[in-house]
Structure 1
């Protein structure tokens, strides 16, 4: 079968899909990928043909503020609304026309689509091809028991919280998501496609897909009243790793030995200003009896090394997270969903601080599951980080909960489970 993967040109959306693509390729399917030119080398290493964006704008983690200079000045709901319209909704027609054209060169039988591309309705209705949506963020389908998006709420515990969340939900749906929703409807109207009035924009991938691959375990989601049978929780879908005997990030690679190890990152998108999390985190833990490993994402590394020359602080552009988590005790993060899942898959509890790009909702789930402490800000104070790290270290409940969740991650092979979902859509002939 010809299987086309399609994704945004963003690491956090592309990377988790690679393991599934390789698994399907190993099962004998012809796999190709539609995404930005930035991933040409990675796809070449995987032996997967690429169809690069033609009409679509390549939104990358490192070019968003260059493409949209006004974005850097926005915060909170305005920033979320801007990203929803410009980065996600604006490209839908471009994505669809690219896909319609490339099927002449690669007549695909199914599209495994990054859910944030919002192409499910057009591809399934106009091209007649089934779509399997790949959700690299927490489950965004609306439900009466699930708090509204973007506010970092946990399920309400009393009538007052329920009233607050109802009001916030109206703000989320009618104000924050309004520009993106209007753009989505306009683009679909141009193709004669009517979009239902009920629900919200983020429900569309769940409505219009033949199946949904949902990353993460179900225990990291909030309780739901309505169960969507098309949603398959498959665990931590991590980037494909080429098998290798030599992995450098171990206890024995020459790093100094300390009673505890902390891993610190500010992600790959919102990491220009280290004053948000990395510097407060270093100020919080630099004098603790711990090895502190910092991954900058390739920005400001040398300046941080010069500012923090302490022997217990290691600053690098990138580290092998999977290996470091084998001996880490606390993960200090802004709440990227991929990193959160990898941490929990290794039983490492978290201290999280992030707001934008949906991180507040990720962090609310972390705290609700009892596997970490959310500081509920993107600019935490050092003393608050220090207090949270100390709590995680001294109260065994956090570690025990994280270890319990790691057992759930180990219960299935995520890439195998996701590949089964795709083949299930293709039917018996796929086997």
Structure 2
């Protein structure tokens, strides 16, 4: 089969799909990928044909500030509102027209598309191709039992909590999600398609997909009243690794400290180290712990000069897969990929992040009992020190993270994803034969 993968040009969206692409190719399928030029070299290294964005705006972790200077000043729901409309919904027609052009050159049998690209309905109804959506973040489909997105809520247990959630859901749909919904609706109308201007725009992805690959596990999600048969949790679907990460610190050296803590502030909101990295180092520098800090390539030299301590290691990039083998706690702003990688090694999490949907990731960490959610993006050194000591002193945190690891290990994630894709194509072929 010919399979086209499509993703945003953002590492957190692209990287988790690489394992699927390689496994598809190994299974004998012809694979191509539609994404930004920033990943051209990586795709060349994987031996996968690359179709770069043509009409679509290429949003990357490095150019958002240049493209949208006003974005820097936005926080919380306002930042999410902006991103949903500008980064995702506004590109819908451009993404689709690029994909339609690609189909002329590479007549794919199915598309595996990053769930944030919002082209599912257009590809399904106009190109009439099977669509499999991939989510590198938690399940975003609405459900009566699931809290409204972007507030970091846990499931409601009491009447006051249920009332709060109802109000927040209204705010989310009318203020946070509405601009993206309006933009998306206009794009569909351009093609003669109509859809409601109400309801979460994120549900459109699930409605118009033949199948959904959901990274993570149901135990790392909130309970749901309605189980969508299209959704398949595949475990910790991690980036493909042919070899160690180049120029990355791996922590493969004799340990002089009784504990190891890894700290990262991600690769997007990592310019201001004062949010998480600096308070984490301040919290840990006097502990009997090796502190490994990954800056994502921002301000590494300055941070090293500031903390010339034998137990503090500051690097641009860390080979997390190797470092987590001897890590006791992972401090993160809540990127879902990093959380999954940590838990795939049985390492409990201390999470401190709000923007880019991280508050919802961190709420799931808290609900599953595999880490501590500090419910802020700017924790104090004292709060971080207390959280670390809490995890160190109570083995239950490690036990729950190890239980999650065992769940992930039981699932061949890339293999399960390929099964979903092949199954969607077979179902479409069967339906076509039956219709004929």
- Please state which band the TM-score falls in when normalised by the shorter chain: over 0.9
Question: Can you list the C-alpha shifts for 1:343-398, whole angstroms capped at 9, x where unaligned?
Answer: 00110001000000000000000000000000101111110011111101111111
Task: Quote the Cα distance in structure 2 between the aligned partners of 1:245 and 1:43.
Answer: 15
Give the secondary-structure state (helix, strand or coil) at the position aligned to 1:303: helix
Q: Give the equivalent residue in structure 2 for 1:7.
A: 7
Are residues 352 and 429 of structure 1, via their aligned partners in 2, closer, same or farther at CA, if it must alter by over 3 Å?
closer
Task: Quote the Cα distance in structure 1 between the aligned partners of 2:198 and 2:209.
Answer: 17
Gaps of 5+ in 1: none
Task: Kindly state the Cα deviation for residue 102 of structure 1 after the two structures are TM-superposed.
Answer: 1.2
- Alignment TM-score, normalising by the size of structure 2: 0.96
Give the secondary-structure state (helix, strand or coil) at the position aligned to 2:325: coil
Task: Quote the Cα distance in structure 1 between the aligned partners of 2:7 and 2:250.
Answer: 33
C-alpha contact 1:256 1:311 (8 A) present in aligned 2: no
Q: How does 1:185-264 map to 2 (within 5 A)?
A: 185-196=185-196, 199-243=199-243, 253-254=252-253, 256-264=255-263
Are residues 179 and 199 of structure 1, via their aligned partners in 2, closer, same or farther at CA, if it must alter by over 3 Å?
closer
Q: Is 1:330 the counterpart of 2:329 in the alignment?
A: yes
Q: How does 1:21-420 map to 2 (within 5 A)?
A: 21-196=21-196, 199-243=199-243, 253-254=252-253, 256-420=255-419
Are residues 382 and 212 of structure 1, via their aligned partners in 2, closer, same or farther at CA, if it must alter by over 3 Å?
same
Give the secondary-structure state (helix, strand or coil) at the position aligned to 1:254: coil
Task: Kindly state the Cα deviation for residue 298 of structure 1 after the two structures are TM-superposed.
Answer: 0.5
C-alpha contact 2:248 2:316 (8 A) present in aligned 1: no
Are residues 241 and 62 of structure 1, via their aligned partners in 2, closer, same or farther at CA, if it must alter by over 3 Å?
same
C-alpha contact 2:181 2:198 (8 A) present in aligned 1: no
Give the secondary-structure state (helix, strand or coil) at the position aligned to 1:389: helix
Task: Kindly state the Cα deviation for residue 77 of structure 1 after the two structures are TM-superposed.
Answer: 1.1
C-alpha contact 1:261 1:293 (8 A) present in aligned 2: yes
Segments of 4+ moved more than 6 angstroms: 244-248
Task: Kindly state the Cα deviation for residue 248 of structure 1 after the two structures are TM-superposed.
Answer: 8.2
Are residues 371 and 187 of structure 1, via their aligned partners in 2, closer, same or farther at CA, if it must alter by over 3 Å?
same
Task: Quote the Cα distance in structure 1 between the aligned partners of 2:256 and 2:414.
Answer: 35
Matched residue count:
429
Question: Can you list the C-alpha shifts for 1:254-286, whole angstroms capped at 9, x where unaligned?
Answer: 365210000000001100111111011111111
Give the secondary-structure state (helix, strand or coil) at the position aligned to 1:155: coil
Task: Quote the Cα distance in structure 2 between the aligned partners of 1:223 and 1:69.
Answer: 39
Task: Kindly state the Cα deviation for residue 196 of structure 1 after the two structures are TM-superposed.
Answer: 3.7
Give the secondary-structure state (helix, strand or coil) at the position aligned to 2:326: coil
Question: Can you list the C-alpha shifts for 1:194-245, whole angstroms capped at 9, x where unaligned?
Answer: 1145631010110000000000011000000000000000011111000579
C-alpha contact 2:130 2:428 (8 A) present in aligned 1: no
Task: Quote the Cα distance in structure 2 between the aligned partners of 1:244 and 1:336.
Answer: 21
293-302 vs 198-207, greater mean Cα deviation: 198-207
Gaps of 5+ in 2: 430-436
C-alpha contact 2:247 2:317 (8 A) present in aligned 1: no
